[in-house]
A and B are shown apart, each in its own frame.
Chain A
Amino acid sequence: DQQVKQNSPSLSVQEGRISILNCDYTNSMFDYFLWYKKYPAEGPTFLISISSIKDKNEDGRFTVFLNKSAKHLSLHIVPSQPGDSAVYFCAASDAGNTGKLIFGQGTTLQVKP
């Protein structure tokens, strides 16, 4: 049972344009969501997070939107840069309990110059 799903395995955008990565979840107990960026053979790097009490969080070029009723979150990167090319994982946590993160399958973003 995949509780966190990233249905697009890959995404290709042009440099300077907006990248939108999507993530859906099924467990209504999740109340904290995170996005990580990962290069091959490296550990994930934390990008941005959002609590369920918010619907938007912004940090520089990265914005995460949360739609609790749809159980959907998205990561917007604007403007996209070639260095953003990596695998992006969304993760969800039921916080306060075990702190465990449930990861999506990842979306490979390619930003073309």
Chain B
Amino acid sequence: GAVVSQHPSWVICKSGTSVKIECRSLDFQATTMFWYRQFPKQSLMLMATSNEGSKATYEQGVEKDKFLINHASLTLSTLTVTSAHPEDSSFYICSASGQDLSETQYFGPGTRLLVL
């Protein structure tokens, strides 16, 4: 149980385009989903927290207009990187937690974004 999927796993796009990443909880209802970013050989940095049906809470320094988060249902959250630039190239990981899962977050497999 507690499986989280992400799609796509790998995406290459041109500078200036927008990219949408999906995060799904497959076997539980995710009341809260989190989006992280990881640079090579660094720790996971929380970008934002989203609760189903409400606006996401962004961490300091994360541009909300740049990284659009939608948590429309208890099993799906999306992160859209708008007008992507090469510096947005990174590994994006989502996690999800549910009311029955205590505080444990279960992570998706990640999405590697390369902006040319």
Contacts and interface: CB of A to CB of B under 8 A. Distances in A.
Interface residues of B, number: 25
A41 B49 contact: no
A62 interface: no
A93 B54 CA distance: 22
A105 interface: yes
Contacts of A104: 43
A46 B104 contact: yes
Contacts of B74: none
**Majority secondary structure, B binding face:** strand
A104 B43 CA distance: 6
Contacts of A98: 49, 57
Given A43-B4, A44-B44, A89-B44, A100 B34 contact: yes
B107 A41 contact: no
B107 A36 contact: yes
Interface in A34-76: 34, 36, 41-46, 49
Given A99-B49, A101-B105, A43 B6 contact: yes
Contacts of B44: 44, 89, 103
Given A43-B95, A44-B107, A45-B107, 10 more contacts: A34-B105, A41-B112, A44-B93, A46-B106, A46-B107, A98-B57, A100-B46, A101-B46, A103-B44, A105-B43
Interface of A: 32, 34, 36, 41-46, 49, 89, 93, 95, 98-106
